[in-house]
Amino acid sequence: MRPDKPAAADHVEADHIAEAARLERTAGLYPEDAEQLLLQAAAHLELAGARDRATALYDRLLSADAEHPPASPVMIRALKASNLWEYGHEAEARAIIDGVRATAPRDPAPWVIVAESLESHDELEQAHATFTEAAALLLPPETPDPPYATHPLLFGRHRVRRMLGMDHDAWDALADRISTSPVPLDELHDPKRTWSLGSENPAELRAEITRLQAELGSYRQALSRPFPVAILHWPAPELTELLTAYPSLTAEYPSHEEHLATIESSLRELSASGTPNLGIVTGTVPSYEAFAASEGTSPEEPSLLPQYATTLAARGRAAGWPPERGAECWCGSGAGYGECHGAGA
């Protein structure tokens, strides 16, 4: 008897199941990072086709006790809705999507998740309405430089409008401007592209291959940086404790004021060089010492500091930079960013 699916597919599914189990065990060891780890585990379960188990993980996160509430419940509900719809629970998924839209989250991620779920099930009008609600809330049309996290919102809206045959508006023009793809968005999102795959014209096929390569490059770029490029920030009491315990690190941090100024200048340089998705992670001495022990390295090793920052960012600890207009400065002074380290930006 021939198997229902290739052995290679079984192997891939088993790998995803094993990785999900590893992430769940790790979440038990690091409760402060449990949410991010369990979300990754749920993603692996979805890839393995174990969607009921993924839903159970989402429910586990949403039912966390008051002492450890989820940091991003709206995003978890959005992920749950998308997953439910994929294995036949359409009514429940729609109800959750309506709830997500009603909460009007300030984070673009839940909007993108539910809009793409609607889009994937051919609910193009509703997907367009969802993308547009999010754009109206998060991105006034005159926004000169939209945050990196909002780019999928603009690209998704552009794609759906193209499929609906709608004319460009200000948000579509903004999507065109920020796109780094070598192929224009109008071509990438052309609903007639699938027809060209059945063409016998070599020129049409070559053009479609070029467009697919451009799309793949964009996806790879997004996947290569699932978390921000983050700079490490030590609050004044933590830096004092760090330098008292490890005086050799004074060479890295001559003073707290200079440390803060260096963070801001480094982020501005990265931004000016075109690096997207920037953030700041806040360190603590106990956490840093535990990280050093896990790496088998002395906390006095300066090269460990950027590794620590990257690890915190990967665990979902990064705050986006620059702060939103009117928000408090990242340094913790309590002053607005524009009147503090953002002055003159």
Question: Is the distance from CB of 99 to CB of 67 less than 8 angstroms?
Answer: no
Q: Is residue 296 predicted with pLDDT exceeding 90?
A: no
What the block records as the tokens of 176 is 């065109």
Whole-Å CA distances, 61 to 65, 66, 99, 181, 258: 9, 12, 17, 36, 40
Residue 269, φ and ψ in degrees, nearest 5: -65, -45
Q: Is residue 216 predicted with pLDDT exceeding 80?
A: no
Q: Is residue 195 predicted with pLDDT exceeding 60?
A: no
Helix (H) or strand (E) holding 231: strand 229-233
Mean pLDDT, range 311-336, rounded to an integer: 85
183 or 54: whose pLDDT is higher? Answer: 54
pLDDT band with cut points at 50, 70 and 90 for residue 14: confident
**Residues of the chain with pLDDT > 70: what percent?**
85
What the block records as the tokens of 69 is 């509430």
Interatomic CA distance for residues 229 and 320, integer angstroms: 10
Contacts of 61 (CB under 8 A, 6+ apart): 35, 38, 39, 70, 76
Mean pLDDT, range 185-210, rounded to an integer: 68
pLDDT of residue 190: 77
pLDDT of residue 127: 95
pLDDT of residue 3: 42
What the block records as the tokens of 169 is 């508006």
94 or 143: whose pLDDT is higher? Answer: 94
pLDDT of residue 218: 55
pLDDT of residue 227: 59
Tell me: the pLDDT tens digits for 227-282?
578 899 999 999 999 999 999 999 999 999 999 999 999 999 988 887 778 899 99
Q: Is residue 4 predicted with pLDDT exceeding 60?
A: no
- For residue 247, whether the previous peptide bond is cis, meaning omega lies within 30 degrees of 0, is no
Mean pLDDT, range 165-186, rounded to an integer: 87
Average pLDDT of the residues of the chain: 84
pLDDT of residue 141: 65
Interatomic CA distance for residues 321 and 328, integer angstroms: 12
pLDDT of residue 224: 43
Query: Smallest Cα–Cα separation from 70: which of 18, 16, 114, 27?
Result: 27
If one counts every other C-beta atom within 10 angstroms of the C-beta of residue 74, the result is 20
pLDDT band with cut points at 50, 70 and 90 for residue 66: low
